[in-house]
């Protein structure tokens, strides 16, 4: 059967592809019933936290992060519209911590400007046994009205995505 854009059944193809993209930057493990994300992008040859190899690896991650962000948000919108009939973002953002920040990052990537918050990304290099650095991403939100600063791991945004999909019974997370 050919992918039908009007049939929500085919969202599982989108979800699978997005999960594969997530697996290209994080190892996802369930530990004591909790979902944990471990960065897997490696900066070989980096001997300190400020080596240029870290920045090279991080910059190559950004297009993947953009793609994952846009896909996650589109899947959530489509899932709610097909299952519930609407996507009430304000109501959902109060129900799911960090969903608002996922929306803001998605909007930043799509529209470049944002009236609610200044959004930026920061590389984090984790020295691994003195041999190489694992590279992770933080997303920083500075809310324009309040001045509040909220730094989140990109993995926190993935977590809320998975949590919502699980609550909608679109994925099953085996918690052991």
3-class SS string, the chain: CCCCCCCHHHHHHHHHHHHHHHHCCEEEEEECCEEEEEECEEEECCCCCCCHHHHHHHHHHHHHHHHHHHHHHHHHHHHHHHHCCCCCHHHHHHHCCCHHHHHHHHHHHHHCCCCCEEEEEEEEEEEECCCEEEEEEEEEEEECCCCCEEEEEHHHHHHHHHHHHHHCCCCCCCCC
Structure tokens at 72: 């996650």
Report phi then psi at 170, rounded to 5: -95, -20
**pLDDT averaged over every residue in the chain:** 89
pLDDT at residue number 160: 97
pLDDT at residue number 1: 62
**pLDDT at residue 8 is higher than 70:** no
- Tell me the CB-side half-sphere exposure of residue 128, using CA atoms within 13 A: 17
pLDDT at residue number 101: 97
pLDDT at residue number 81: 86
pLDDT digits 0-9 by tens, 26-66? 999 988 888 999 999 988 877 777 789 999 999 999 999 99
**pLDDT at residue 135 is higher than 80:** yes
Q: What is the pTM of this model?
A: 0.91
Q: Averaged over 66-74, what is the pLDDT?
A: 97
pLDDT digits 0-9 by tens, 145-167? 999 999 999 999 999 999 999 99
pLDDT at residue number 64: 97
Distance separating alpha carbons of residues 84 and 74, to the nearest angstrom: 15
């Amino acid at each position: 059967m050919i992918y039908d854009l009007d049939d929500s059944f085919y969202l599982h193809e989108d979800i699978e592809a997005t999960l594969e993209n997530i697996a290209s930057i994080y190892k996802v493990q369930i530990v004591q019933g909790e979902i944990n994300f471990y960065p897997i992008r490696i900066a070989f040859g980096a001997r300190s936290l400020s080596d240029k190899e870290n920045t090279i690896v991080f910059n190559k991650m950004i297009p993947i992060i953009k793609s994952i962000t846009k896909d996650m948000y589109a899947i959530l919108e489509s899932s709610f519209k097909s299952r519930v009939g609407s996507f009430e973002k304000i109501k959902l953002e109060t129900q799911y911590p960090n969903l608002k920040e996922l929306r803001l990052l998605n909007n930043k990537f799509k529209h470049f400007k944002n009236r609610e918050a200044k959004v930026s990304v920061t590389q984090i290099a984790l020295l691994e046994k003195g041999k190489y650095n694992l590279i992770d991403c933080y997303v920083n939100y500075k809310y324009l009205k309040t001045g509040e600063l909220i730094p989140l791991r990109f993995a926190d945004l993935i977590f809320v995505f998975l949590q919502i999909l699980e609550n909608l019974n679109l994925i099953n997370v085996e918690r052991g």
